[in-house]
Chain A
Amino acid sequence: MANVGIVIVSHSEKVAEGAADMVRQMVGDAVPLAYTGGNSEGGLGTDVARIMDAIDRAWSEAGVAVLVDLGGAETNTEMAIEMIDETKQQRIVICNAPIVEGAVIAATEASGGSPLDIVKQTAEELSPQ
């Protein structure tokens, strides 16, 4: 089975792109990866349509783990997930983890073939509740 995909959703395209660069440096092309940052006009913010598109680009039958930065990114990602095909929804999770560290660790875990729940859990161990 394909590796879990990783999606990075930041308010800033530069942050999202930079985090994705760091993921690529760690895991190369071993995991499907997509990022999005900014609103529909290119300013700071997040955009549901762009998030849906990023999830689609990083789609894997093993599922997709999404890393977000601030509140609106999470809310918009939750909305995006609800608007995606129902058969896929259960295979998309948001990781409660710092966006940069979480993305790198989640991707590293995913690159070893770990299932979605383990990828999420590993990322979230970064931020104990």
Chain B
Amino acid sequence: MDFAQSDDFGACLGLWAGSWIREMAMDVALKKALIEDCAKVIAEHADELTSLDRAIGDGDHGLNMKRGFESLLPDAGSLASRPLPDMLKAIGTQLVMKVGGASGPLYGTLFLSLAKEISGSPNSENARTAFASAIEAVKARGKSEVGQKTMLDVLAPVLAAWDHRAGIASHLSETARQAAEATIPMKAIRGRASFLGDRSIGHMDPGARSSSLLIATIAKHFGA
């Protein structure tokens, strides 16, 4: 599947959305690579995530995320062979059960919600709708809104870029990266970091960072 020629980066934002060009079920090899690469990028950045979390939280985000995503690896092949909604549901459930911290139910909810809305061969609109619903589900799970120094501060700008801009997948990575950076001056309102009040200002939110890493990794497979 090649999204390189597409100028609609909506599909790139589709968090494992398939081709709306060919309307075919998503390729097994691609799905497997996405799972493996997401686990890899989290493992590679585990220390960084933990360090960010140590500054304003309980210092377990990197380890928790690494444990959760690496637990997908032994089953990556069988997960990838499932239809996209089934695969996302299984990933969401696994993250809920394995990550351990608050990020387990939050990322788990993101994937479980995507699974509910996405089709086996999603077009751009279906993928965007699923992503929008998933963001709402994460808001409900975390009782949080945009602007509170959380992963939502990456997810929401990515959705907004999807709505209003056209481009290639690099825009997606860049939007996510900038959005994570933009959490640095924010004051945390939700989560452990909120205990710090004003002292949470000046640090990047670890959940925003992990979200931007995952989005950039996924985008790379769609032509960035």
Residue numbers of A with Cβ under 8 A of B are 11, 39-41, 43-49, 70-72, 75-76, 78-79, 83
Cα–Cα distance between A41 and B104 once the two chains are bound (Å): 14
- Nearest B residue to A52 by beta-carbon distance? B97
The listed residue (A11, A49, A75) touching B105 by CB distance below 8 A is: A75
Q: Are B101 and A79 closer than 8 Å at their CB atoms?
A: no
Q: Are A49 and B97 closer than 8 Å at their CB atoms?
A: yes
**Interface positions of B from 70 to 101, Cβ below 8 Å from A:** 96-98, 100-101
Q: Are B141 and A78 closer than 8 Å at their CB atoms?
A: yes
A-contact 0/1 string along B92-116, CB 8 Å cutoff: 0000111011101110110000000
Q: Are A71 and B100 closer than 8 Å at their CB atoms?
A: no
The listed residue (A45, A71, A75, A83) touching B60 by CB distance below 8 A is: A45
Across chains A and B, the number of contacting residue pairs, with CB separation under 8 Å, is 52
Query: Is B167 positioned at the interface, with any CB of A under 8 Å from its CB?
Result: no
- Given A46-B101, A75-B105, 18 extra CB contacts under 8 A: A11-B58, A39-B64, A40-B100, A43-B60, A44-B60, A45-B100, A46-B100, A47-B97, A48-B96, A72-B192, A75-B102, A75-B106, A75-B141, A75-B142, A76-B102, A79-B108, A79-B141, A83-B96
Residue numbers of B with Cβ under 8 A of A are 58, 60, 64, 67, 96-98, 100-102, 104-106, 108-109, 141-142, 190-192
Cα–Cα distance between A41 and B134 once the two chains are bound (Å): 29
Residues from chain A with Cβ under 8 Å of B191 in the complex:
71
The listed residue (A46, A48, A49, A70) touching B192 by CB distance below 8 A is: A70
Residues from chain B with Cβ under 8 Å of A79 in the complex:
96, 104-105, 108-109, 141
Cα–Cα distance between A11 and B58 once the two chains are bound (Å): 11
Chain B nearest CB from A4 CB (Å) reads 25
The listed residue (B60, B67, B97) touching A48 by CB distance below 8 A is: B97
18 A/B residue pairs, CB under 8 Å, sorted by A: A39-B100, A40-B97, A40-B100, A43-B100, A45-B64, A45-B100, A46-B101, A47-B97, A47-B100, A48-B96, A48-B97, A71-B191, A72-B192, A75-B102, A75-B105, A76-B102, A76-B104, A79-B96
Chain B nearest CB from A36 CB (Å) reads 12
Given A71-B192, A78-B141, A48 contacting B58 (CB threshold 8 A)? no
